Amino acid sequence: MAELKEISSNKIFGGYQKVFSHQSKELSCSMNFAIFLPSDSADKKFPVLYYLSGLTCNELNMVQKSGFQQFAAKHNIIVVCPDTSPRNIENLDTSDFNYDFGYGAGFYVDSTVEKYKNFRMYSYISSELIEVVNNNFPTLVDKQSIFGHSMGGHGSLICALKNPGLYKSVSAFAPISNPVNCPWGNKNFTGYLGDNKDEWKAYDATELVGKYNGPPLEIFVDQGSEDQFLKENQLLPNNLIDAAKKAQVPIIYKLREGYDHSYFFIATFMGEHIEYHAKFLNN
């Protein structure tokens, strides 16, 4: 069982918002994650909802800006918010790092480039973190779902599509839907995976949805119409929609008039997303 160190604990909506650190085997460094535990967590077990944050974020952005705790408390769901990249790596050359590559920008892939061998966020999220949470908290091990924002929306989609049956549901706020065809994806996939673009497709939701073969899975995508990154062709949701329809994978797409890419957008529709996941997790 992983040894956890409690960093903070705050009571909120009858439950507790906590932050822990642990030593990650996948990333070979210390990692933080935040976890919301409903009020009577000492007496029963709960489903788990994982939230993946976007570029420049860490485990606290969702915790402090989205107001999710009131909805998680209402539906009795544990919510886990991991960091977005490994950070505490010794002797790492960070000269190429920027806001959109490196710390705060793990892109939820398993790097195959030796220089960034610690950047194995895909395996950390979809395997190790789940084990850590299930071994240390009162979870229903067969009831978990995943969602995220932007880079984290990309991460949530690929985790669900690459692991049929692992998650009961998936949703995303303004996801990077087709990274092999956008500037952010090209930069990060080249940096973490090298120049072979065929290997990039293994971490692209638009590519993966056409190959999905597993239990029925519905995709829920939320997008603000005034999102600057939508206009800059970083997100490309229409490519995902077209691919999902072609593959006959059900997809819900809500274009929210006037909303941007910020946590103001996320906070507005957070309750709807948690209610959506609750339908699957509390069934």
Q: Are strands 170-173 and 139-149 parallel, antiparallel or unpaired?
A: parallel
Average pLDDT over residues 62-70: 98
pLDDT tens for each residue of 114-131? 999 999 999 999 999 999
**Contact predicate 105/74, CB 8 Å:** no
Tokens of 61: 């952005």
Active-site residue flag, 227: yes
* CA nearest to 176, candidates 194, 149, 198, 202: 149
Q: Which long-range contacts (CB under 8 A, 24 or more apart) does 66-71 make?
A: 66/263, 66/266, 66/267, 66/270, 67/267, 67/270, 68/36, 68/270, 68/274, 69/12, 69/13, 69/15, 69/17, 69/36, 70/13, 70/271, 71/270, 71/271, 71/274, 71/275
3-state secondary structure of 233: coil
pLDDT at 2 over 70: no
* CA nearest to 239, candidates 161, 150, 164, 179: 179
The strand order across the sheet containing 29-37 reads 5-12, 15-24, 29-37, 78-82, 46-52, 139-149, 170-173, 219-224, 251-256
Mention every residue, 6+ apart, whose C-beta is less than 8 A from residue 187: 100, 101
Q: Are strands 78-82 and 29-37 parallel, antiparallel or unpaired?
A: antiparallel
pLDDT at 15: 96
Q: How confident is the model at residue 1 (pLDDT cuts 50, 70, 90)?
A: low
Domain residue spans in the chain?
5-281
pLDDT at 29 over 90: yes
pLDDT at 208 over 90: yes
Q: Does 5-281 carry CATH code 3.20.20.100? A: no
Q: How far apart are CA 37 and CA 25, in angstroms?
A: 25
DSSP string, 68-127: THHHHHHHT-EEEEE-SS----TT---TT-BTTBBTTB-TT-B--SGGGTT-BHHHIIII
Scan for tokens 């535990």, then name that residue. Answer: 37
The kind and range of the H/E element at 31 are strand 29-37
Q: How confident is the model at residue 39 (pLDDT cuts 50, 70, 90)?
A: confident
Other CB atoms within a 10 A radius of the CB of residue 264 amount to 12
pTM above 0.95, yes or no: yes
Distances (CA, A) of 139 to 77, 225, 234: 9, 37, 36
Identified catalytic residue from 150, 156, 171, 177: 150
pLDDT at 88: 86
Active-site residue flag, 150: yes
pLDDT tens for each residue of 137-182? 999 999 999 999 999 999 999 999 999 999 999 999 999 999 999 9
Lowest mean pLDDT across 17-26, 84-93, 231-240? 84-93
β-pair partners for 12: 15
* CA nearest to 156, candidates 199, 220, 237: 220
Average pLDDT over residues 274-279: 98
Identified catalytic residue from 154, 261, 273, 277: 261
Active-site residue flag, 9: no
